[in-house]
Chain A
Amino acid sequence: MSTVITGNTGDWEIVVGLEVHAQVISQAKLFSGASATYGGEPNTHVSLVDAGFPGMLPVLNRECVAQAVRTGLGLNAEINLFSRFDRKNYFYADLPTGYQISQFAHPIVGKGVVIVDLPDGSTREIGVTRLHLEQDAGKSIHDQDPTRSFIDLNRAGVALMEIVSEPDIRCPEEAGAYLRKLRQILRYIGTCDGNMEEGSMRADVNVSVRRPGEEGFRTRCEIKNVNSIRYVMQSIEVEARRQVEIWENGGEVDQETRLFDHVRSETRSLRSKEDAHDYRYFPDPDLLPLEIEQSWVDELKAALPELPEDKRARLEKEYGISRYESGVLTAEQAVADFYETVAKNADARLATNWILGDFFGALNRTGRTIEDSPVSAEGLRELLSLISDSTINGKIAKEVLEDMVETGDSASAIVERKGLRQVTDTGAIEAAINAILEANADKVEQYKSGKDKLFGFFVGQSMKAMKGKANPAMVNDVLRKLLDA
């Protein structure tokens, strides 16, 4: 899939690479014991190390390294047993030491790949160049006072994984699909919550354009710190069009860092290449090179949860569901778990249809998520079992589900309370149907003279007469017997 921009002088192809900053889920920060929890009163999660006090030294958090390795494994990437931390030097008020500890020359994770699903049902492989660990900076707050800025160091030193993609992305949709897939993998493994609103996942977007079939890449611009998938997609579109216009007017795109303004739907220059920082990277002399054992990597790999792609394949095989269905059902680990709890030892087709249909509908209607679903997986399974064993029919089941959402009662309790048990007494059904046929003698005549479609009318009238509780199969059978006799 690729979006071609048609300019005045012909077509243009978009080339995008993404640098995603994903905040590592960990108790403590990357190099200090301070809490890495989001929120908290300003400057309450700050150690002397984070605040860059004289003589303070970083000590690497083992769990953050494990999280990076797990993520690398989830991206099918090479794990580098040797990696190293470098200092990236620049002055800013929310960077207490005057340098960010990052991995510049030797990242912990090398090349990997992410398989993304595109809206047209096709899949594509997007290459991952590398993943490295680094510290987050603090937060500068400029809107509290007209003349002063405030600094909150709670985030300073929290571990980030920077995941750099190859320039393999060719359109905004692919960028969106890549980010969704990446977020899904991180959430599955439990290494990042992927919450873009809270800033625990942010993207720098590198955009350039070129003629279709053109070798190599043209100058790119980097759009910094885009904090939603929608804005990433919009910014690519807007930036690519800006560059096409420049090239077509005989200009040169300058390599620069830009910001995306979603209100005005434009990108704006932040700094040019000339103003780019000289970060003076060099190995951090306070930290030894990081050497990890293959056996430890193997242990982490063995303990890794099932990844989305593997789960999809398995669900398709075990429950006979389609690729589309498996995609929806594995989008979130919690949904997949819910699905499996319901579908296991049940009619899988029934479970699939109900979850994708009425159950998701109920969630949407109530504004709830799978985590705080008003109906538990066990509760839904019971409801479906009542369908399977003919205690109730599908139509009644919809009513029962609504009641479950509202009252929290179990399906069987509702069926008993409302007397919804399906009528399977042949005599009662025959009596009801006979009454219907007598009242509609004219239609019976029409049916018998060939108007087959009226069969549905008789089914509907019969079900209505029995308040929907009749077993539909039995109603069919009795009707056929009486009408076709």
Chain B
Amino acid sequence: MSTPFDYTLASARDALRARKISARELTEAHLSAIERLDGSLNSFITTTPENALKAADAADATLAKGEGGELCGLPLGIKDLFCTNGTRTTAASNILRDFVPPYESTVTSNLLRDGAIFLGKLNLDEFAMGSGNLNSAFGPAINPWKRNGSDEQLVPGGSSGGSAAAVAAGLVLGATGTDTGGSIRQPAAYTGIAGIKPTYGRCSRFGTIAFASSLDQAGPMARNLQDCAILLRSMAGFDQRDSTSVDTPVPNYEAALNRGVKGLRVGIPKEYHADGMPAEIEALWQQGINWLRDAGAEIKEVSLPHTKYGLPTYYIAALAEASSNLARYDGLRFGARVKADSLDAMYEASRAAGFGEEVKRRILLGTHVLSSGYYDAYYLRAQKVRTLIQQDFLKAYEDVDVLLTPTAPSSAFALNEKPSDPVQMYLNDVFTVPASMAGVPALSVPAGLDGQGLPLGLQLIGKFFDEETLIAAGHVLEQAASFTHRPTIHAGNPA
């Protein structure tokens, strides 16, 4: 090992246990990398170096006794949507700019229980609403990757853009993300890292700021699937405080890594051959098919006939819930308040000042689709289509075990290439939204670079609570792709 930034989470774990490196060294190295590089990435909203170093010393003391949880001494970043006790949690919104929760989310509690060290809170699209991390009140996070021969700033994807950028640039060994319609998978693909959106109900939503409750799901983002598997085992689990969390045992996901795909039936959904998808992505998809076939999988074409309705119904269902979930940000009990002469005026002023443009747009849309006279045409119909989309998957799973698709229809785009039409922006989620609507697990792994030198991801979608098969198949892709490229901005790069 030449630098601390060559470690993966798994190898760092082993090195810590073997006392080849101390938690303090590892933490200091990452904190200094953040200091050095995050000015050009803006991946952190808040850093907590003092807490991190204190926790590192405690971890070293524990490790010295030969004790410590699975994540003991490993530096992570936390998407700033997870409430962290005593550390401000903003959701990248002005309305929560100074909000310090007196409680810890279940997911971060689990990570702390297992010894993880938090370096800070990571940038995102405001309230997780976006696909480019362009909608943050703290400014956009920047993708550490550059196009060949260009210094133009690219988006890291979203909404977990800060998580993706920080992991890709080596500022943290792993990060938490949340995925409502692709917010883990798409940024993972844009930044050349791995990310898992687990089955809905696998990770508790308690203490995670809600965007769309029936879709939100926390998951890990890291350099590779082994690291994601280690993190997911810690994050997942039943929680009495979340009625939608599911009481089913958490397996050792890492142990599933090398199961292989011999005999595995892999479905290729024909509806995912989207019009106007770049040939490179089509080619990469075919490459993925070949890799899995070569490793012993059986490839089958399947049909998910309601795919084309995924995006519109997602934007109805998600925004309806969001319009209600965000009603609590009224300036009364916490968060930013703008004083005014009447209660209604105070609401209007506080929310006008506190929410960004995209959040306002989505609250308006969500309010509209629930309104009397429109409910049946929009919300109710979307719920019905959602059931059909779920049935598409269940039907496909009668013939196949996993589905393989591209993660996103393009590679990362430049900040100034942001489409002026918000709907164009929403199209980034076209491949990731259906799995979210169905609640099934999905992951993205880096599979290659496009002609501009930017990473592209492949998505695997699995059966309910069968993350293990997904991880096994994903690992086959990882090995075949042997994706070892590093972005232009990386902690391990020579200064």
Contacts and interface: CB of A to CB of B under 8 A. Distances in A.
A55 B208 contact: yes
A282 B330 contact: no
Contacts, number: 99
Nearest to A59: B243
Given A55-B83, A55-B208, A280 B371 contact: yes
Interface stretch (B30-38, B98-106, B144-152, B302-310): B98-106
Contact of B320 (A58, A97, A98, A282): A282
Interface of B is mostly: loop
A357 to B, nearest CB: 56
B367 A59 contact: no
B333 interface: yes
Interface string A56-76: 111110000000000000000
B213 interface: yes
A165 to B, nearest CB: 25
A376 to B, nearest CB: 46
Nearest to B333: A51
B330 A54 contact: no
Contacts of B347: 91
Contacts of A92: 343
A287 interface: yes
The residue among A48, A59, A280 with the most chain B CB atoms within 10 A of its own CB is A280
Nearest to B370: A280
B379 interface: yes
Contacts of A99: 324, 327
A93 B344 CA distance: 9
Nearest to B334: A53
Contact of A54 (B240, B324, B328): B328
A288 B243 contact: yes
Given A96-B328, A98-B330, A280-B367, A55 B243 contact: no
Contacts of B472: none
The residue in B99, B206, B327, B344 that gathers the most chain A C-beta atoms within 10 A of its C-beta is B327
Given A54-B328, A98-B327, A278 B244 contact: no
B388 interface: no
A89 B327 CA distance: 8
B101 A278 contact: no
A287 B321 CA distance: 13
Interface in A163-209: none
Given A59-B241, A286-B244, A288-B244, A98 B324 contact: yes
Given A48-B103, A54-B101, A55-B207, A278 B372 contact: yes
B321 A285 contact: yes
Contacts of B240: 59
A54 B96 contact: yes
Contacts of B241: 57, 59
A87 B323 CA distance: 12
A92 B212 CA distance: 22
Contacts of B99: 54
Contact of A282 (B96, B324, B343, B344): B324
Interface of A: 48, 51-60, 87, 89, 91-93, 96-99, 149, 151, 278, 280-282, 285-288
Interface of B: 82-83, 89, 91, 96, 99, 101-103, 105, 205-210, 212-214, 240-244, 320-321, 323-324, 327-328, 330, 332-334, 343-344, 347, 367, 370-372, 375, 379
8 contacts: A54-B210, A55-B103, A55-B210, A59-B243, A89-B327, A97-B328, A281-B370, A282-B375
